[in-house]
Structure 1
Amino acid sequence: MTNTPKRDVAPPPPLPTTDPPWELQLGFDIEDIYCAYNEWLVVLTQGFPDFEIDRKQDAGGWAADRLRELNVAPSLVDQLEEALAKLPSHTDFARIMASGESSSWPKIARTMEDVLATGRIAVDASKVRYYDCGVMLCRIQLCSRMLRVISSLPEGLPSVFPDLTEIYRKELLRTTSVLETLVASRDPAIPSDPGQRALEQAFSEFAAYLSTWRNRSADPDSDFRDHFDRVTQAAGFRPSDIARQEATWVSHPEPIPEEERVPLPAPHSAEDRQQLETYWQEIKRIAKEGDIPRSADLLSQLVQTCRAVLGPVHPLTLHIQISLCAALGANGKAGLAIVALLDIAATAQHYYGPYHPARYLISADVYTCLRRVHPEMAQEVYDFPLKSLIERDESDLPSGLHSVRRAIHAQLGIDNEMLL
């Protein structure tokens, strides 16, 4: 045969190939934008490099086009495109954090949750399985990447985020278990496509690997990443250029000394602070006796004293300002009180990080005061930042926030059973 010009046995024609369902990529891309606004990755890496912004915007634009083809409400698709336009880059990250623009991220994340849920409803019922698998593959990639980022931080810095490693390890175990369940499912509500045998085989092999990986180490090592790459290639995903992105992450600064993590107060003694607290309690007594106008005048003077003695963003200064707002609201000046309360909440969120008790104690007082004069605005303060503390299990929080969570539960009259 090797010496004859014509072969006597012709090779069989290649089997027809079926493109992977595009719903896989759709679920992945929408979840990726959600994660950009709702996960710690953007904070630890201080934004995304420009080429990653370009990639996310291209992928998100493709997802927006698919959603329009699925007749998703144009207003919701427009909000997705607005989220794409606001993705934080390396160069803009410092400005975004300093200006307080990052306070809009939770609202954007909630919008992306709506996009995810609406997209799932809109896709053909026979492709929901693949949409869900795309979402889970994105979360698996995120958790694996987060654990690598955390492990590369300067020694001592992870103590600033004491629960992140455990949180993302648990989430990785959860998402891999969900994916295994999806792959094994024979639920007719989420059927597999008989024409996707090669893809289903790749998913089955990855699920089989995950079961042994979980029993062996549950560590997203190079072997894990190799198996993950195989299944994403079978899914037809676009190259993510992760290696290039990780090579261009902005180096995180060395750990910041504790006294520099919160705004430094003006020099004062414990006696100064105690005296101011005593004045505050006396003014509260006057207010309880019904002399609201006088209490408002005294609180206004006390706020100025606190700003001079303690500093403008000291927790006691801000708490007394909230008392002044309550007095203003009770004295017929609700509009002024609302504006001041929202400014106080923004100040607390800007100057006190996600693990500082003052962030939540001040916000809880603002929420309590706003409920009396503007319930809708109060709900926004509850949604961010209070909800992330109040509705999380205590075991998922740093120990320094346990007593804060209990105090706020008591202040707001929240029964733990109500959150179950």
Structure 2
Amino acid sequence: MNETVTRRALLGALGAGALLPSVGGAQNFFAGDVPAGSQELWTWVRAQLVLEPGLAWLDTAGSAPTLRAVMVREYRSRERQSLDFRNYEDAVLAPGPLGQHLQRMAAALGAQADEVAFTTGSLEGIGIVARGLDLARDDEVICSQQERTAAVGPWRVEAARRGIKLVDVKTGGADATPEAILGAYAGALTPRTRALLVSHVQSTDGTAMPVREICTLARANGVFSLVDGAQGPGHVPVDVAALGCDAYATAFHRWLNASRGVGALYVRRDAQPKVWPFAQEAAFPTGAQARYGAAARLVGPAIEGVAIALEFQRAVNPARSGARIRELAAYLRMRLATVPGLQVVSPSHASLVSGIVAVQLPGRDHAAIAAALAAQDRIVVGHVSQPPAIDAIRMSLHPGTDIGHLDRCVDALRRQA
């Protein structure tokens, strides 16, 4: 049974090993520990998460429960940090050990180690690029009407500070197609376009965007492409080299189940001269970590936790996790079709479908419904509102989501309809 972790339970899990040196390279999840059967596997995955028993968590796109093993590793790391900070810095944040973490993260993203930097999350990564590009008054930056507020915020600051212009395009919707989305970005290009922001998966309606095609379009027109990967790792396959983007910003507290406050910024090697450094990191004379990773010194324990989250993802098998997410989304859509008056506003096109499903109940207050589901039914969903593009209830599905929780959610929505 999955239980919340009390202080006593956590300390018990740590045991005497809490005072030992870092064992970042040690294996934590062995093949023999991972169940082979599907039902047993996803029950086991759920049991690894720190989540209140009986709570139906359907808001992975907002944030997700942390892996218990990640919490244990971070506790041990923070204890070492407090006991002997100087030696802790040498053991975790010096070029050698931090370089190993960068290599693991780069491999997970399809990048080279000198192209990635640890950040405090996707917001910081997007902000680094927005501040770092040489943009002038009346330069244009294209983004979707459905970009999440955190992703657009840094560009709005630059609009106020430097006079750049944000150009919104319409994307997503139940009838969206890859061709229509690509056409919207192509139609927004002008001689003044300097940069383009696109989500890997839209946080609002779950559209898995045609990122590779959009980045190809950007490069052909001399436009810098930045991908908001907040909903990427652990949810959909990530290969930044294959995507062809100039930069990719992400965080690890959603689909990967690491803790909040740690993420990554990828900037392609030949694009790094276009993005001014955030601050020079003396320990790394060159590469992305030197230019953009100064904040990593503040999140050493969380970086060690990311290594555990990545190991867990490999142990479960990313392809199997992805297939499970698609299976859950298909099942949820089938059940939602039985609710009178409810409309699914996420795309139905096969290439645009993800583990995020957004719905509307016309004439109803979606924020109030989401709050009622949490208070009355112990079901956590998201409410997304990006006028005029969308106002909806969002369900986002983790591989460990219990199908019974989806049934509970549909029944609760039926009572609200």
RCO higher in 1 or 2 (8 Å CA, sep ≥ 6)? 2
More strand by share: 2
Q: Highest Rg: 1 or 2?
A: 1
TM-score, normalized by length of structure 2? 0.25
TM-score, normalized by length of structure 1? 0.25
More helix by share: 1
